[in-house]
């Protein structure tokens, strides 16, 4: 990723955008944080926050007109937060702070003319930045002296004037402005500022420039005579101080000033779950509890739309802008640990974040690109996707894959593509579905293989392309028939990578053909869960609901469904890269179900079933077996392979009178597992065939360890990259396996 790309990604995520209140405030007080502190009754902390941003805070906090309140989005849920009243409460109820310590002197002198609000604020802003400030005025505090105590209590103004002096401002009163005075000040000082609201003669200088407050005379700045509310006068003073700083430094007077004064923010905050709460009444005499309650009404605006709906984004505790930076940094590491590898490989690539993001941020695009780049650079951890890619290779191997016309046919009008996972989970359902399609549509060929999605998800595009080109070749050999795909991921993948093919979903086909003969019609009420791969396929989702309706199923829709469907944790190979998080993702989805679950993605079905929920795949109703639908277990990795192989063998034998290729020698090893061993193997991604290979080699070579007390044997074998260890005992004609483990590290010198 280039740095410019990172910037573009970061810009897209709006979580760090300024809240509306701060953007609308002419001097950008962090009202969100202020409210947070006030809600915790931390008055002194809240005051320190105001005093950091406000000039003459004792005065301004009491006089602020609350411009931010007109931008507050709480207005749509009970009324804007009364920030100006909170500021006054805070000023009245917190400990007075000493004035800020000015920056070291710049050895630049500025004259400020006019002792009204703008002039005082300008003197404050410039003194704070290290200018030597002389305030020249007729009288100090014009327009502020006569205010009633209820607005500005006695002593407050004098205290802030004392603060100005403490900050080094020299105050000269009784001075009258004249053209010659201005000219001599311009000679004497580095810059001059005139408070246009107080000094009526300022009018003779003409309207100051809106952006810089500059006048026709270089080095002379003035605020407009607009009698603006105090917070705008403070903003004019700050603008003048910025201009004086630029002027005395000799840098551009105009560039990069867009964020001075009120501006628009891009932040988004959803109000869908916000309950309306009315403002606390009254404007004075608030109790501490009143102030706290009013501050609590602040929504603490932020976006977090994607994080709120995604367990993955939540897990890493930040939001996409931060993740983009981490991913960029991860790729930049030359020596050291790449801390973000697991994060990059844990995204489900499901697209839910993009669907809810006001700015279309796609973690999927970001993470997939990062994975591809890691593969290209050779920095992808070898173990992350290896098991899934081996499974893909197995599904495409001789024992599972086939591509044929229907029995006794030499052409195909259609090609049934059930997908390798449906075949792995419900081989009988696939068998029945293929029989049904042949019976009703005639010349329907069959292709059993993987669509290539795992390679695509793993960032191994050349492997995906290679797999796809074989698939394409076989499809063309069969005469490029229309494809009927049952798996929504296959459907999506094939449509993307095989644009020449006409592809329909099995569900569309069934909607047109009518229900198969043996379909059950006792569905009851079920929660219909769309898989993430159907997010952008409205037709597919409608077809499924039509079928469920015809099956007599009353459907309940979960909150996040359809275009906002959640992944089950299989997508993007999350469950391989980060099994615990994969589990949490499936658990969250299962927890949200109010009724038994029905879906049309077999991975969703199996993963929800594993969470202990009754879960059905549509095939369980359309092509039911003998058992209670939904009671079919979610097969483990070894059984999934076995199911594919057995289905392929069965179809070849029954339909095409062909025997499968010879079994490999290790497949003859008879092996049984304790429950504990089966559980360990599933978690550790150890297959029955891996164990059979170990035992086959151990019995041939005699290379084993034996335990003195238990008499159990222990052997190991490394078929390729992983060494497997099996603890077992002989039993009848075979072996009972008690434990199994594996590692990738190799003993040098040949031991497998």
Partner 1 sequence: MSVIRVPEADAAGWRCAACDEPLVMRPVELEYLDALFNVELPTCPQCNRVFISEELALGKMHQVEQLLEDK
Q: Which residues bind partner 1 (CB under 8 A)?
A: 336-339, 341, 381-384, 684, 702-710, 713-714, 716, 723, 725, 727, 739, 741-749, 751
String of b and e for 398-408 (b: at least 16 CB within 10 Å)? Answer: ebbbbbbbbee
- Tell me the closest approach of the beta carbon of residue 749 to partner 1, in angstroms: 7
If the CB atoms of residues 154 and 745 are measured against partner 1, the closer one turns out to be 745
* Contact between residue 371 and residue 458 where contact means Cβ atoms under 8 Å apart: yes
C-beta neighbour count of 62 within 10 angstroms? 22
If the CB atoms of residues 277 and 742 are measured against partner 1, the closer one turns out to be 742
- Tell me the closest approach of the beta carbon of residue 315 to partner 1, in angstroms: 18
Of 80, 87, 78, the closest CA to residue 30 belongs to: 87
If the CB atoms of residues 339 and 538 are measured against partner 1, the closer one turns out to be 339
Q: What angle do CA 554, 558, 563 make, to 5 degrees?
A: 110
Block residue for tokens 């991913």: 327
Block residue for tokens 């959803």: 270
Q: What angle do CA 354, 494, 660 make, to 5 degrees?
A: 135
- Tell me the closest approach of the beta carbon of residue 689 to partner 1, in angstroms: 20
Give burial (CB, 10 Å; 0-12/13-18/19+) of 253.
middle
If the CB atoms of residues 577 and 604 are measured against partner 1, the closer one turns out to be 577
Q: 556 has which bridge partners?
A: 527
- Tell me the closest approach of the beta carbon of residue 746 to partner 1, in angstroms: 5
If the CB atoms of residues 736 and 742 are measured against partner 1, the closer one turns out to be 742
* Contact between residue 451 and residue 419 where contact means Cβ atoms under 8 Å apart: yes
- Tell me the closest approach of the beta carbon of residue 748 to partner 1, in angstroms: 4
If the CB atoms of residues 657 and 720 are measured against partner 1, the closer one turns out to be 720
The set of residues, in sequence order, having a beta carbon less than 8 Å from that of 34 and lying 6+ positions away, is 46, 49, 50, 83, 86, 87, 90
If the CB atoms of residues 104 and 749 are measured against partner 1, the closer one turns out to be 749
* Contact between residue 698 and residue 717 where contact means Cβ atoms under 8 Å apart: yes
- Tell me the closest approach of the beta carbon of residue 338 to partner 1, in angstroms: 5
Task: Return phi, psi of residue 517, to 5°.
Answer: -55, -45
Whole-angstrom Cα distance, residue 202 to residue 177?
9
Whole-angstrom Cα distance, residue 405 to residue 444?
7
The set of residues, in sequence order, having a beta carbon less than 8 Å from that of 201 and lying 6+ positions away, is 177, 178
- Tell me the closest approach of the beta carbon of residue 324 to partner 1, in angstroms: 19
* Contact between residue 105 and residue 80 where contact means Cβ atoms under 8 Å apart: no
If the CB atoms of residues 493 and 716 are measured against partner 1, the closer one turns out to be 716
Most distant CA atoms of the chain, gap in Å:
115
If the CB atoms of residues 104 and 336 are measured against partner 1, the closer one turns out to be 336
- Tell me the closest approach of the beta carbon of residue 333 to partner 1, in angstroms: 9
* Contact between residue 429 and residue 619 where contact means Cβ atoms under 8 Å apart: yes
Whole-angstrom Cα distance, residue 114 to residue 192?
11
- Tell me the closest approach of the beta carbon of residue 336 to partner 1, in angstroms: 7
- Tell me the closest approach of the beta carbon of residue 381 to partner 1, in angstroms: 3
Whole-angstrom Cα distance, residue 369 to residue 358?
22
Of 670, 673, 653, the closest CA to residue 661 belongs to: 653
If the CB atoms of residues 410 and 708 are measured against partner 1, the closer one turns out to be 708
If the CB atoms of residues 378 and 499 are measured against partner 1, the closer one turns out to be 378
- Tell me the closest approach of the beta carbon of residue 739 to partner 1, in angstroms: 6
- Tell me the closest approach of the beta carbon of residue 575 to partner 1, in angstroms: 17
Q: Quick one: angle between helices 43-53 and 83-93, nearest 10?
A: 110
Q: What does the block give as tokens for 61?
A: 């906090």
- Tell me the closest approach of the beta carbon of residue 320 to partner 1, in angstroms: 22
- Tell me the closest approach of the beta carbon of residue 708 to partner 1, in angstroms: 5
The H-or-E segment that residue 445 falls in is strand 444-448
- Tell me the closest approach of the beta carbon of residue 580 to partner 1, in angstroms: 14
- Tell me the closest approach of the beta carbon of residue 677 to partner 1, in angstroms: 12
Whole-angstrom Cα distance, residue 35 to residue 301?
11
Q: Using the 8-state DSSP alphabet, how is residue 207 labeled?
A: P
If the CB atoms of residues 350 and 574 are measured against partner 1, the closer one turns out to be 574
- Tell me the closest approach of the beta carbon of residue 712 to partner 1, in angstroms: 9
The set of residues, in sequence order, having a beta carbon less than 8 Å from that of 412 and lying 6+ positions away, is 405, 406, 443, 444, 445, 478, 479, 481
- Tell me the closest approach of the beta carbon of residue 455 to partner 1, in angstroms: 19
Pick left, alpha or beta for residue 269 (phi over 0 → left; psi -120 to 50 → alpha; otherwise beta).
beta
If the CB atoms of residues 512 and 745 are measured against partner 1, the closer one turns out to be 745
If the CB atoms of residues 275 and 711 are measured against partner 1, the closer one turns out to be 711
If the CB atoms of residues 330 and 423 are measured against partner 1, the closer one turns out to be 330
String of b and e for 281-312 (b: at least 16 CB within 10 Å)? Answer: eeeeebeeebbbbbbbbbbebbbebbbebbbb
Whole-angstrom Cα distance, residue 400 to residue 650?
11
If the CB atoms of residues 103 and 747 are measured against partner 1, the closer one turns out to be 747
String of b and e for 455-484 (b: at least 16 CB within 10 Å)? Answer: bbbbbbbebbeebbeebbebbeebeebebb
If the CB atoms of residues 176 and 710 are measured against partner 1, the closer one turns out to be 710
If the CB atoms of residues 215 and 716 are measured against partner 1, the closer one turns out to be 716
Q: Using the 8-state DSSP alphabet, how is residue 214 labeled?
A: B
Strands 734-743 and 671-673: parallel
Q: Taking the mean position of all CA atoms in its chain, how far away is CA 225?
A: 49
């Amino acid at each position: 990723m280039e740095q410019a790309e990172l910037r573009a990604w970061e810009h897209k995520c709006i979580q760090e955008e300024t809240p509306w209140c701060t953007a609308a405030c002419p001097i950008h007080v962090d009202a969100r944080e202020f409210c947070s502190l006030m809600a915790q009754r931390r008055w002194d902390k809240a005051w320190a926050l105001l005093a950091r941003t406000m000039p003459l805070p004792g005065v301004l906090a009491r006089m602020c007109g609350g411009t931010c309140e007109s931008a507050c989005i709480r207005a749509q849920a009970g009324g804007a937060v009364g920030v100006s009243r909170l500021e006054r409460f805070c000023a009245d109820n917190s400990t007075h702070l000493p004035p800020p310590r000015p920056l070291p002197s710049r050895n630049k002198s500025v004259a400020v003319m006019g002792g009204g609000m703008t002039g005082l604020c300008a003197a404050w802003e410039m003194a704070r930045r290290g200018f030597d400030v002389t305030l020249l005025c007729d009288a100090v505090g014009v327009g502020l002296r006569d205010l009633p105590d209820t607005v500005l209590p006695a002593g407050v103004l004098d205290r802030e004037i004392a603060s100005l002096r403490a900050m080094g401002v020299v105050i000269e009163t009784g001075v009258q402005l004249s053209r010659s005075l201005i000219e001599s000040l311009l000679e004497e000082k580095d810059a001059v500022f005139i408070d246009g609201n107080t000094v009526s003669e300022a009018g003779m200088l003409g309207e100051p420039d809106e952006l810089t407050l500059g006048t026709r005379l270089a080095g002379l700045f003035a605020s407009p005579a607009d009698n603006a509310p105090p917070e705008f006068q403070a903003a004019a003073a700050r603008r003048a101080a910025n201009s004086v700083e630029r002027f005395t430094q000799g840098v551009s007077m105009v560039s990069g000033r867009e964020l001075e004064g009120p501006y628009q923010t891009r932040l988004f905050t959803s109000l869908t779950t916000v309950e309306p709460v009315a403002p606390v009444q009254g404007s004075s005499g608030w109790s501490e509890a009143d102030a706290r309650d009013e501050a609590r009404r602040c929504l603490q605006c932020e976006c977090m739309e994607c994080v709120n709906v995604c367990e993955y984004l939540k897990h890493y505790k930040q939001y996409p802008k931060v993740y983009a930076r981490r991913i960029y940094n991860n790729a930049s590491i030359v020596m050291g640990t790449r801390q973000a590898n697991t994060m990059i490989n844990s995204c489900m690539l499901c697209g839910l974040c993009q669907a809810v993001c006001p700015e279309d941020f796609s973690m999927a695009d970001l993470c997939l690109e990062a994975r591809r780049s890691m593969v290209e650079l050779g920095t992808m951890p070898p173990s992350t996707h290896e098991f899934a890619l081996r499974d893909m290779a197995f599904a495409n191997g001789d024992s599972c894959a086939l591509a044929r016309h229907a029995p006794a046919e030499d052409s195909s009008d259609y090609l049934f593509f059930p997908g390798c996972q449906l075949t792995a989970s419900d081989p009988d359902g696939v068998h029945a579905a293929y029989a049904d399609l042949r019976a009703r549509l005639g010349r329907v060929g069959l292709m059993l293989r993987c669509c290539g999605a795992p390679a695509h998800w793993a960032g191994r595009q050349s492997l995906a392309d290679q797999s796809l080109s074989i698939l394409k070749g076989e499809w063309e050999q069969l005469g490029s028939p229309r494809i009927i795909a049952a798996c929504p991921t296959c459907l999506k993948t094939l449509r993307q990578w095989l644009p020449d093919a006409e592809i329909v979903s099995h569900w569309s086909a069934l909607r047109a053909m009518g229900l198969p003969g043996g379909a059950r019609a006792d569905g009851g009420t079920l929660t219909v869960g769309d898989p993430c791969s159907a997010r952008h396929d409205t037709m597919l989702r409608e077809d499924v609901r039509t079928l469920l309706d015809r099956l007599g199923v009353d459907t309940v829709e979960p909150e996040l469904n359809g275009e906002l469907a959640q992944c089950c944790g299989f997508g993007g190979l999350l469950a391989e890269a980060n099994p615990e998080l994969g589990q949490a993702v499936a658990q969250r989805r299962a927890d949200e179900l109010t009724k038994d679950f029905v879906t049309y993605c077999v991975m969703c079905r199996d993963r929800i079933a594993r969470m202990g929920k009754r879960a059905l795949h549509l095939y369980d109703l359309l092509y039911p077996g003998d058992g209670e639908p939904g009671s079919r277990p979610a097969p483990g990795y070894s059984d999934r392979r076995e199911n594919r192989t057995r289905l392929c063998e069965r179809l070849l034998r029954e339909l095409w009178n062909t025997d499968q290729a010879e079994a490999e020698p290790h497949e003859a090893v008879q092996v049984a597992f304790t429950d504990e061993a089966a559980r360990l193997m599933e978690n550790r991604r150890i297959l029955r065939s891996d164990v059979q290979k170990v035992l086959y080699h151990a019995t041939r070579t005699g290379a084993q360890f034996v335990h003195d007390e238990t008499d159990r044997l222990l052997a190991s074998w490394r078929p390729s990259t992983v060494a497997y260890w099996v603890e077992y005992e002989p039993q009848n004609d075979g072996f009972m396996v008690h434990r199994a483990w594996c590692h990738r590290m190799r003993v040098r010198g040949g031991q497998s």
